[in-house]
Amino acid sequence: MAQTKFHLGWFQDGFRAPAWNRRWSGTSTRDWQDGSFYLDMARSFERACFDYFMIEDNNYIPDVYGGSEAAYLKYGQRAPKHDPTALAAIMTQVTRRMGIVATVATSETTPFHLARLMSTLDHLSHGRIGWNVVTGSNDRAAQNFGQEQQEPHDKRYDMADEFVETVRALWSSWDEGAVVMDRESGIYVDHTKVHTIDHRGEHYASRGPLNTLRSPQGHPVLVQAGVSPRGRAFTARHSDSVIAAANNLDDMRDLRISIRGLAAEQGRNPDDVKILFLAQPMIGETEDDAQRKADVWMADEQRFLDFGLSTLASVTTVDFAQFDPDEPLPLGLTTNGHQGQLDNMVKSRKPLRELTTGVVVGSREAGFVGTAESVAERMAEAMDHVGGDGFLLTHFTPTRRYVDEICDGLVPALQDRGVVRTEYAHETFKENLLAF
Ligand SMILES: Cc1cc2nc3c(=O)[nH]c(=O)nc-3n(C[C@H](O)[C@H](O)[C@H](O)COP(=O)(O)O)c2cc1C
Protein backbone atom coordinates (compact mmCIF):
# COMPACT_ATOMS: atom_id res chain seq x y z
CA MET A 1 0.00 0.00 0.00
CA ALA A 2 1.41 3.38 -1.04
CA GLN A 3 2.48 5.61 1.86
CA THR A 4 3.91 8.91 0.68
CA LYS A 5 1.61 11.86 1.29
CA PHE A 6 2.00 14.36 -1.50
CA HIS A 7 0.97 17.77 -2.86
CA LEU A 8 -1.05 18.68 -5.93
CA GLY A 9 -0.91 21.78 -8.09
CA TRP A 10 -2.20 22.87 -11.47
CA PHE A 11 0.14 24.18 -14.17
CA GLN A 12 -1.89 26.51 -16.39
CA ASP A 13 -0.14 27.02 -19.69
CA GLY A 14 -0.88 30.75 -19.93
CA PHE A 15 -3.92 33.00 -19.45
CA ARG A 16 -5.09 32.26 -22.96
CA ALA A 17 -7.72 30.48 -25.05
CA PRO A 18 -8.11 26.94 -23.67
CA ALA A 19 -9.74 24.18 -25.76
CA TRP A 20 -11.47 26.65 -28.00
CA ASN A 21 -12.20 24.31 -30.91
CA ARG A 22 -11.90 20.89 -29.29
CA ARG A 23 -14.45 18.49 -27.90
CA TRP A 24 -16.23 19.77 -24.78
CA SER A 25 -14.84 23.28 -25.14
CA GLY A 26 -18.29 24.74 -24.41
CA THR A 27 -18.31 28.48 -23.85
CA SER A 28 -14.59 28.65 -23.06
CA THR A 29 -13.93 30.00 -26.55
CA ARG A 30 -15.25 33.31 -25.31
CA ASP A 31 -15.29 33.26 -21.54
CA TRP A 32 -11.57 32.77 -21.00
CA GLN A 33 -11.11 36.39 -22.07
CA ASP A 34 -12.75 37.93 -19.02
CA GLY A 35 -11.19 35.27 -16.79
CA SER A 36 -14.44 33.49 -15.90
CA PHE A 37 -13.35 30.13 -17.34
CA TYR A 38 -10.25 30.27 -15.14
CA LEU A 39 -12.22 31.39 -12.08
CA ASP A 40 -14.35 28.25 -12.47
CA MET A 41 -11.16 26.21 -12.62
CA ALA A 42 -9.78 27.88 -9.50
CA ARG A 43 -12.97 27.11 -7.53
CA SER A 44 -12.78 23.46 -8.65
CA PHE A 45 -9.12 23.03 -7.70
CA GLU A 46 -9.72 24.61 -4.32
CA ARG A 47 -12.60 22.19 -3.75
CA ALA A 48 -10.05 19.46 -4.42
CA CYS A 49 -7.65 21.05 -1.88
CA PHE A 50 -4.86 21.75 -4.39
CA ASP A 51 -1.79 23.51 -3.00
CA TYR A 52 -1.62 25.94 -5.88
CA PHE A 53 -2.77 27.13 -9.26
CA MET A 54 0.23 28.32 -11.27
CA ILE A 55 -0.12 30.57 -14.32
CA GLU A 56 2.69 30.42 -16.90
CA ASP A 57 3.49 33.51 -18.97
CA ASN A 58 5.61 35.07 -21.72
CA ASN A 59 5.60 38.60 -23.11
CA TYR A 60 5.89 38.09 -26.87
CA ILE A 61 4.32 36.48 -29.91
CA PRO A 62 6.78 33.81 -31.04
CA ASP A 63 8.03 33.50 -34.61
CA VAL A 64 10.58 30.70 -34.14
CA TYR A 65 8.74 27.92 -35.94
CA GLY A 66 9.26 28.24 -39.68
CA GLY A 67 10.42 31.82 -39.03
CA SER A 68 6.84 33.10 -38.78
CA GLU A 69 4.12 34.07 -36.31
CA ALA A 70 1.61 32.17 -38.46
CA ALA A 71 1.37 28.87 -36.54
CA TYR A 72 1.24 30.66 -33.18
CA LEU A 73 -1.63 32.94 -34.10
CA LYS A 74 -3.47 30.29 -36.11
CA TYR A 75 -3.88 27.92 -33.16
CA GLY A 76 -4.15 30.57 -30.46
CA GLN A 77 -1.67 28.48 -28.51
CA ARG A 78 1.13 30.80 -27.38
CA ALA A 79 -0.80 33.96 -28.24
CA PRO A 80 -3.00 35.85 -27.54
CA LYS A 81 -2.17 35.81 -23.85
CA HIS A 82 -3.35 38.12 -21.04
CA ASP A 83 -1.31 39.22 -18.04
CA PRO A 84 -1.31 36.52 -15.31
CA THR A 85 -0.99 38.96 -12.39
CA ALA A 86 -4.40 40.44 -13.25
CA LEU A 87 -5.92 36.94 -13.31
CA ALA A 88 -4.20 36.11 -10.01
CA ALA A 89 -5.78 39.23 -8.46
CA ILE A 90 -9.33 38.23 -9.36
CA MET A 91 -8.68 34.59 -8.42
CA THR A 92 -7.86 35.73 -4.90
CA GLN A 93 -11.46 36.96 -4.63
CA VAL A 94 -13.15 33.64 -5.47
CA THR A 95 -10.89 31.36 -3.39
CA ARG A 96 -9.98 31.26 0.31
CA ARG A 97 -7.24 28.70 0.86
CA MET A 98 -5.50 27.70 -2.37
CA GLY A 99 -2.16 29.23 -3.36
CA ILE A 100 -2.06 31.28 -6.55
CA VAL A 101 1.21 31.62 -8.45
CA ALA A 102 1.81 34.22 -11.17
CA THR A 103 4.78 34.21 -13.53
CA VAL A 104 6.86 37.37 -13.94
CA ALA A 105 10.24 37.50 -15.71
CA THR A 106 13.14 39.20 -13.92
CA SER A 107 14.29 40.71 -17.24
CA GLU A 108 10.95 42.44 -17.76
CA THR A 109 10.45 44.36 -14.54
CA THR A 110 12.41 45.84 -11.64
CA PRO A 111 12.90 44.43 -8.13
CA PHE A 112 10.93 47.28 -6.57
CA HIS A 113 7.95 46.91 -8.86
CA LEU A 114 7.88 43.13 -8.46
CA ALA A 115 8.24 43.26 -4.66
CA ARG A 116 5.41 45.77 -4.39
CA LEU A 117 3.15 43.87 -6.80
CA MET A 118 3.56 40.54 -5.00
CA SER A 119 3.19 42.17 -1.61
CA THR A 120 -0.08 43.76 -2.72
CA LEU A 121 -1.35 40.45 -4.14
CA ASP A 122 -0.37 38.72 -0.90
CA HIS A 123 -2.64 41.15 0.94
CA LEU A 124 -5.50 40.70 -1.53
CA SER A 125 -5.25 36.93 -0.96
CA HIS A 126 -4.61 37.00 2.82
CA GLY A 127 -1.26 35.26 2.34
CA ARG A 128 -1.72 32.96 -0.64
CA ILE A 129 0.48 34.41 -3.37
CA GLY A 130 3.48 32.88 -5.08
CA TRP A 131 5.82 34.22 -7.73
CA ASN A 132 7.06 31.93 -10.50
CA VAL A 133 10.55 33.34 -11.00
CA VAL A 134 11.58 33.17 -14.66
CA THR A 135 14.42 34.97 -16.36
CA GLY A 136 12.90 35.30 -19.85
CA SER A 137 14.49 33.24 -22.59
CA ASN A 138 13.32 34.48 -25.99
CA ASP A 139 14.88 37.36 -27.94
CA ARG A 140 11.47 38.57 -29.11
CA ALA A 141 10.54 39.19 -25.47
CA ALA A 142 13.83 41.04 -24.94
CA GLN A 143 13.01 43.23 -27.95
CA ASN A 144 9.65 44.16 -26.42
CA PHE A 145 11.54 45.53 -23.43
CA GLY A 146 14.19 47.55 -25.23
CA GLN A 147 16.97 44.94 -25.54
CA GLU A 148 18.25 43.33 -28.73
CA GLN A 149 18.59 39.87 -27.27
CA GLN A 150 18.50 37.84 -24.09
CA GLU A 151 21.60 37.69 -21.94
CA PRO A 152 23.46 34.35 -22.11
CA HIS A 153 21.74 31.51 -20.22
CA ASP A 154 23.92 31.35 -17.09
CA LYS A 155 24.30 35.11 -16.79
CA ARG A 156 20.51 35.40 -16.73
CA TYR A 157 20.49 33.22 -13.62
CA ASP A 158 23.33 35.28 -12.05
CA MET A 159 21.22 38.39 -12.58
CA ALA A 160 18.13 36.61 -11.25
CA ASP A 161 20.06 35.71 -8.06
CA GLU A 162 20.66 39.40 -7.39
CA PHE A 163 17.09 40.29 -8.42
CA VAL A 164 15.60 37.83 -5.92
CA GLU A 165 17.94 38.96 -3.13
CA THR A 166 16.89 42.58 -3.76
CA VAL A 167 13.21 41.63 -3.73
CA ARG A 168 13.69 39.75 -0.45
CA ALA A 169 15.45 42.74 1.09
CA LEU A 170 12.54 44.97 0.03
CA TRP A 171 10.02 42.55 1.50
CA SER A 172 11.99 42.71 4.75
CA SER A 173 12.22 46.51 4.69
CA TRP A 174 9.16 46.53 6.97
CA ASP A 175 9.77 44.71 10.26
CA GLU A 176 7.03 42.60 11.74
CA GLY A 177 4.97 44.79 14.03
CA ALA A 178 5.71 48.00 12.09
CA VAL A 179 2.00 48.63 11.65
CA VAL A 180 0.66 49.87 14.99
CA MET A 181 -2.74 51.34 14.06
CA ASP A 182 -3.14 52.76 17.55
CA ARG A 183 -6.09 55.14 17.81
CA GLU A 184 -5.00 56.49 21.22
CA SER A 185 -1.53 57.61 20.21
CA GLY A 186 -2.58 58.35 16.63
CA ILE A 187 0.25 56.22 15.23
CA TYR A 188 -0.45 54.16 12.16
CA VAL A 189 3.11 52.98 11.43
CA ASP A 190 6.11 52.88 13.76
CA HIS A 191 8.69 54.56 11.52
CA THR A 192 11.61 52.96 13.40
CA LYS A 193 10.55 49.61 11.99
CA VAL A 194 10.70 50.65 8.34
CA HIS A 195 14.18 50.71 6.74
CA THR A 196 15.90 51.65 3.51
CA ILE A 197 17.80 48.78 1.86
CA ASP A 198 20.26 50.95 -0.14
CA HIS A 199 21.04 48.18 -2.58
CA ARG A 200 23.62 49.05 -5.26
CA GLY A 201 24.61 45.84 -6.95
CA GLU A 202 26.14 44.70 -10.19
CA HIS A 203 22.82 44.65 -12.06
CA TYR A 204 20.19 46.35 -9.88
CA ALA A 205 19.81 49.25 -7.51
CA SER A 206 16.99 50.13 -5.15
CA ARG A 207 16.87 52.42 -2.15
CA GLY A 208 13.73 51.18 -0.44
CA PRO A 209 11.87 50.86 1.80
CA LEU A 210 8.88 49.37 0.06
CA ASN A 211 5.93 51.75 0.24
CA THR A 212 3.44 49.00 0.94
CA LEU A 213 3.22 47.28 4.29
CA ARG A 214 4.75 43.89 5.11
CA SER A 215 2.66 41.14 3.54
CA PRO A 216 0.86 38.34 5.40
CA GLN A 217 3.48 35.75 4.36
CA GLY A 218 6.31 38.26 4.75
CA HIS A 219 8.01 36.63 1.80
CA PRO A 220 5.50 35.22 -0.72
CA VAL A 221 6.20 31.70 -2.02
CA LEU A 222 8.90 31.41 -4.70
CA VAL A 223 8.47 28.88 -7.49
CA GLN A 224 10.93 28.12 -10.31
CA ALA A 225 11.09 25.78 -13.30
CA GLY A 226 14.61 25.52 -14.74
CA VAL A 227 16.39 22.19 -14.37
CA SER A 228 19.67 22.83 -16.22
CA PRO A 229 22.70 22.65 -13.87
CA ARG A 230 22.63 26.44 -13.38
CA GLY A 231 18.84 26.36 -13.03
CA ARG A 232 19.10 23.71 -10.30
CA ALA A 233 21.65 25.77 -8.38
CA PHE A 234 19.31 28.76 -8.55
CA THR A 235 16.27 26.80 -7.48
CA ALA A 236 18.12 25.06 -4.63
CA ARG A 237 19.01 28.47 -3.27
CA HIS A 238 15.69 30.28 -3.57
CA SER A 239 12.67 28.11 -4.35
CA ASP A 240 9.93 26.92 -2.05
CA SER A 241 8.58 24.79 -4.90
CA VAL A 242 10.01 23.52 -8.19
CA ILE A 243 8.08 22.86 -11.40
CA ALA A 244 9.85 19.76 -12.68
CA ALA A 245 9.59 18.02 -16.03
CA ALA A 246 11.10 14.55 -16.40
CA ASN A 247 10.83 11.71 -18.90
CA ASN A 248 10.16 8.84 -16.49
CA LEU A 249 9.94 7.85 -12.84
CA ASP A 250 13.67 7.14 -12.44
CA ASP A 251 14.56 10.55 -13.88
CA MET A 252 12.05 12.12 -11.49
CA ARG A 253 13.65 10.39 -8.52
CA ASP A 254 17.18 11.40 -9.64
CA LEU A 255 16.17 15.02 -10.24
CA ARG A 256 14.61 15.23 -6.78
CA ILE A 257 17.70 13.77 -5.13
CA SER A 258 19.87 16.25 -7.03
CA ILE A 259 17.84 19.35 -6.08
CA ARG A 260 17.50 18.28 -2.45
CA GLY A 261 21.25 17.67 -2.27
CA LEU A 262 21.98 21.12 -3.68
CA ALA A 263 19.51 22.71 -1.23
CA ALA A 264 21.29 20.99 1.68
CA GLU A 265 24.63 22.34 0.39
CA GLN A 266 23.08 25.82 0.59
CA GLY A 267 22.35 25.18 4.25
CA ARG A 268 18.63 24.72 3.63
CA ASN A 269 16.38 21.95 4.89
CA PRO A 270 15.65 19.92 1.71
CA ASP A 271 12.09 19.36 2.98
CA ASP A 272 11.51 23.10 2.49
CA VAL A 273 11.78 22.66 -1.32
CA LYS A 274 8.71 20.93 -2.73
CA ILE A 275 9.40 19.43 -6.14
CA LEU A 276 6.22 18.94 -8.15
CA PHE A 277 6.33 16.90 -11.35
CA LEU A 278 4.28 17.72 -14.42
CA ALA A 279 1.74 15.05 -15.21
CA GLN A 280 -1.30 14.76 -17.40
CA PRO A 281 -3.62 12.00 -16.23
CA MET A 282 -6.39 10.80 -18.53
CA ILE A 283 -9.44 9.57 -16.63
CA GLY A 284 -12.22 7.41 -18.12
CA GLU A 285 -15.32 5.54 -16.91
CA THR A 286 -13.49 2.29 -17.67
CA GLU A 287 -9.91 1.42 -18.66
CA ASP A 288 -11.00 1.13 -22.31
CA ASP A 289 -12.78 4.46 -22.20
CA ALA A 290 -9.64 6.14 -20.85
CA GLN A 291 -7.41 4.50 -23.47
CA ARG A 292 -9.81 5.61 -26.21
CA LYS A 293 -9.75 9.19 -24.89
CA ALA A 294 -5.95 9.12 -24.79
CA ASP A 295 -5.92 7.85 -28.40
CA VAL A 296 -8.26 10.61 -29.52
CA TRP A 297 -6.16 13.23 -27.80
CA MET A 298 -2.91 11.90 -29.26
CA ALA A 299 -4.50 11.79 -32.70
CA ASP A 300 -5.48 15.42 -32.32
CA GLU A 301 -1.94 16.38 -31.41
CA GLN A 302 -0.51 14.43 -34.33
CA ARG A 303 -3.01 16.06 -36.65
CA PHE A 304 -1.77 19.40 -35.42
CA LEU A 305 1.89 18.47 -35.71
CA ASP A 306 2.88 22.07 -36.29
CA PHE A 307 0.73 23.10 -33.29
CA GLY A 308 2.81 20.92 -30.95
CA LEU A 309 6.16 21.61 -32.58
CA SER A 310 5.62 25.35 -32.76
CA THR A 311 4.86 25.42 -29.04
CA LEU A 312 8.04 23.54 -28.20
CA ALA A 313 9.96 25.74 -30.65
CA SER A 314 8.92 28.91 -28.85
CA VAL A 315 10.21 27.77 -25.45
CA THR A 316 13.40 26.11 -26.66
CA THR A 317 14.03 28.70 -29.42
CA VAL A 318 14.85 25.82 -31.79
CA ASP A 319 13.05 25.80 -35.16
CA PHE A 320 11.81 22.20 -35.29
CA ALA A 321 10.42 22.77 -38.80
CA GLN A 322 13.97 22.04 -40.01
CA PHE A 323 13.99 18.43 -38.68
CA ASP A 324 12.40 15.21 -39.94
CA PRO A 325 9.43 14.60 -37.59
CA ASP A 326 9.97 10.83 -37.80
CA GLU A 327 13.56 10.95 -36.48
CA PRO A 328 14.88 11.70 -32.97
CA LEU A 329 16.53 15.09 -32.52
CA PRO A 330 20.27 15.21 -33.27
CA LEU A 331 22.53 14.59 -30.26
CA GLY A 332 24.35 17.67 -29.03
CA LEU A 333 21.57 20.10 -29.96
CA THR A 334 21.85 23.13 -27.69
CA THR A 335 20.07 26.44 -27.00
CA ASN A 336 20.16 29.75 -25.16
CA GLY A 337 16.48 29.10 -24.29
CA HIS A 338 15.10 26.36 -22.02
CA GLN A 339 18.05 23.98 -21.79
CA GLY A 340 16.54 21.46 -19.39
CA GLN A 341 13.52 20.92 -21.62
CA LEU A 342 15.56 20.54 -24.81
CA ASP A 343 17.93 18.09 -23.07
CA ASN A 344 14.93 15.97 -22.03
CA MET A 345 13.66 15.92 -25.63
CA VAL A 346 17.06 14.93 -27.06
CA LYS A 347 17.68 12.35 -24.33
CA SER A 348 14.35 10.60 -24.90
CA ARG A 349 15.54 9.43 -28.40
CA LYS A 350 11.90 9.40 -29.48
CA PRO A 351 10.88 10.56 -32.96
CA LEU A 352 10.14 14.27 -32.89
CA ARG A 353 6.51 13.55 -33.78
CA GLU A 354 6.03 11.77 -30.46
CA LEU A 355 7.37 14.72 -28.51
CA THR A 356 4.65 17.08 -29.68
CA THR A 357 2.58 16.30 -26.62
CA GLY A 358 5.29 17.83 -24.47
CA VAL A 359 7.56 16.23 -21.93
CA VAL A 360 5.06 15.50 -19.18
CA VAL A 361 4.69 12.34 -17.17
CA GLY A 362 1.17 11.26 -17.89
CA SER A 363 1.81 9.17 -20.85
CA ARG A 364 1.03 5.53 -21.04
CA GLU A 365 4.51 4.62 -19.76
CA ALA A 366 3.66 6.09 -16.37
CA GLY A 367 0.25 4.41 -16.43
CA PHE A 368 -1.71 7.56 -15.68
CA VAL A 369 -4.42 6.58 -18.16
CA GLY A 370 -7.34 4.62 -16.69
CA THR A 371 -10.19 4.87 -14.20
CA ALA A 372 -9.93 7.32 -11.32
CA GLU A 373 -9.14 4.45 -8.96
CA SER A 374 -6.45 2.79 -11.05
CA VAL A 375 -4.71 6.09 -11.91
CA ALA A 376 -4.82 7.10 -8.24
CA GLU A 377 -3.15 3.81 -7.33
CA ARG A 378 -0.39 4.30 -9.91
CA MET A 379 0.20 7.92 -8.97
CA ALA A 380 0.55 6.89 -5.34
CA GLU A 381 2.99 4.11 -6.29
CA ALA A 382 4.93 6.56 -8.47
CA MET A 383 5.32 8.97 -5.54
CA ASP A 384 6.58 6.14 -3.36
CA HIS A 385 9.20 5.41 -6.03
CA VAL A 386 10.19 9.06 -6.46
CA GLY A 387 10.15 9.84 -2.73
CA GLY A 388 7.79 12.91 -2.96
CA ASP A 389 6.74 15.75 -3.18
CA GLY A 390 3.83 15.75 -5.61
CA PHE A 391 2.40 16.39 -9.04
CA LEU A 392 1.62 19.49 -10.99
CA LEU A 393 -1.25 18.43 -13.19
CA THR A 394 -1.62 20.09 -16.55
CA HIS A 395 -3.34 19.94 -19.90
CA PHE A 396 -2.45 21.94 -23.03
CA THR A 397 -6.10 22.42 -23.86
CA PRO A 398 -8.14 22.03 -20.68
CA THR A 399 -11.95 21.86 -20.63
CA ARG A 400 -14.34 22.14 -17.69
CA ARG A 401 -15.02 18.44 -18.17
CA TYR A 402 -11.34 17.55 -17.82
CA VAL A 403 -11.09 19.62 -14.65
CA ASP A 404 -14.14 17.85 -13.17
CA GLU A 405 -12.67 14.43 -13.96
CA ILE A 406 -9.62 15.45 -11.94
CA CYS A 407 -11.37 17.22 -9.08
CA ASP A 408 -14.38 14.97 -8.62
CA GLY A 409 -12.89 11.70 -9.87
CA LEU A 410 -9.14 11.38 -9.45
CA VAL A 411 -8.70 13.50 -6.32
CA PRO A 412 -11.38 11.72 -4.23
CA ALA A 413 -9.74 8.41 -5.22
CA LEU A 414 -6.38 9.77 -4.03
CA GLN A 415 -8.01 11.04 -0.83
CA ASP A 416 -9.51 7.58 -0.20
CA ARG A 417 -5.95 6.26 -0.23
CA GLY A 418 -4.89 8.90 2.28
CA VAL A 419 -2.11 10.24 0.04
CA VAL A 420 -3.40 13.80 -0.50
CA ARG A 421 -5.07 16.25 1.86
CA THR A 422 -8.82 16.33 2.44
CA GLU A 423 -8.82 19.82 3.93
CA TYR A 424 -6.48 22.76 4.31
CA ALA A 425 -4.83 22.81 7.74
CA HIS A 426 -3.57 26.40 7.52
CA GLU A 427 -4.52 29.83 6.24
CA THR A 428 -1.43 30.73 4.22
CA PHE A 429 -0.05 29.11 1.08
CA LYS A 430 3.45 28.58 2.52
CA GLU A 431 2.17 26.93 5.70
CA ASN A 432 0.06 24.49 3.71
CA LEU A 433 2.94 23.77 1.31
CA LEU A 434 5.33 23.03 4.17
CA ALA A 435 2.78 21.12 6.29
CA PHE A 436 4.01 17.71 5.05
C1 LIG B 1 7.59 23.33 -17.16
C2 LIG B 1 8.23 24.64 -17.38
C3 LIG B 1 7.49 25.80 -17.21
C4 LIG B 1 8.07 27.04 -17.44
N5 LIG B 1 7.32 28.16 -17.34
C6 LIG B 1 7.84 29.34 -17.77
C7 LIG B 1 7.06 30.50 -17.86
O8 LIG B 1 5.90 30.53 -17.48
N9 LIG B 1 7.63 31.63 -18.38
C10 LIG B 1 8.94 31.67 -18.75
O11 LIG B 1 9.41 32.71 -19.20
N12 LIG B 1 9.72 30.58 -18.61
C13 LIG B 1 9.18 29.44 -18.15
N14 LIG B 1 9.95 28.35 -18.06
C15 LIG B 1 11.39 28.51 -18.29
C16 LIG B 1 12.22 28.37 -17.03
O17 LIG B 1 11.83 29.28 -16.05
C18 LIG B 1 13.66 28.57 -17.38
O19 LIG B 1 13.90 29.91 -17.75
C20 LIG B 1 14.01 27.69 -18.54
O21 LIG B 1 13.54 26.36 -18.31
C22 LIG B 1 15.44 27.61 -18.71
O23 LIG B 1 15.90 26.94 -17.60
P24 LIG B 1 16.91 25.78 -17.72
O25 LIG B 1 17.68 26.08 -18.96
O26 LIG B 1 17.62 25.94 -16.44
O27 LIG B 1 16.14 24.48 -17.82
C28 LIG B 1 9.40 27.12 -17.82
C29 LIG B 1 10.16 25.95 -17.96
C30 LIG B 1 9.59 24.72 -17.75
C31 LIG B 1 10.42 23.48 -17.92
pLDDT tier at 245, thresholds 50, 70, 90: confident
User: Which residue type sits at 101?
Assistant: V
Q: Which pLDDT does position 1 carry in this prediction?
A: 66
In a domain, 326, yes or no: no
Q: Would 331 be classed as within a structural domain?
A: no
- Better pLDDT: 386 or 77: 386
Q: Which residue has the higher pLDDT, 337 or 279?
A: 279
Q: What is the pLDDT of residue 2?
A: 67
Quick one: which atom of ligand 1 is closest to the CA of 153? Answer: 25
pLDDT for 226: 78
**What value does the mean pLDDT take over residues 127-138?**
96
264 within some domain? yes
The reply to whether 295 falls in a domain is no
For the ranges 85-99, 167-181, 287-301, which has the lowest average pLDDT? 287-301
Note whether residue 338 is domain-resident: no
Q: What is the pLDDT of residue 297?
A: 76
HSE-CB at 413 with a 13 A cutoff on CA atoms is: 18
* Peptide bond connecting 80 to the previous residue in cis, omega within 30 degrees of 0: yes
340, part of any domain: no
| Distance in Å, CA 226 to ligand 1 centroid | 5
Is 137 near ligand 1, meaning CB less than 6 Å away? yes
Ligand 1 nearest atom to the CA of residue 337, by list position: 22
pLDDT for residue 392 is more than 80:
yes
What total number of domains does the chain contain?
Answer: 1
Instruction: Report how far ligand 1's centroid is from the alpha carbon of 435 (Å).
Output: 26
The residue segments making up the domain with residue 28 are: 7-282+362-433
304 has a pLDDT exceeding 80: no
Query: pLDDT exceeding 70 applies to what percent of the chain?
Result: 97
Closest C-alpha residue for ligand 1 atom 4: 225
Position 214 in a domain: yes
Whether 316 maps to a domain, the answer reads no
32 touches 104 (CB < 8 A): no
Average pLDDT of the segment spanning 116-135: 98
C-alpha 310 to ligand 1 mean position (Å): 16
If pLDDT is split at 50, 70 and 90, which confidence band does 363 have?
low
Residues 53 and 84 sit within 8 Å (Cβ to Cβ): no
pLDDT level of residue 358 (50, 70, 90 thresholds) = low
pLDDT given at position 359 = 46
CATH number assigned to the domain comprising residue 37: 3.20.20.30
Of 107-121, 218-232, 282-296, 330-344, where does the model show the most confidence?
107-121
Q: Distance (Å, rounded) from C-alpha 59 to C-alpha 202?
A: 25
Distance 133 CA to ligand 1 centre (A): 9
In this structure, which amino acid lies at residue 416? D
Q: In this structure, are residues 209 and 190 in contact, taking their beta carbons and an 8 Å threshold?
A: no
Look at residues 178, 186, 208, 204 and name the one whose alpha carbon lies nearest to residue 195. Answer: 208
Q: Which of 283, 399, 374 is nearest to 44 (CA)?
A: 399
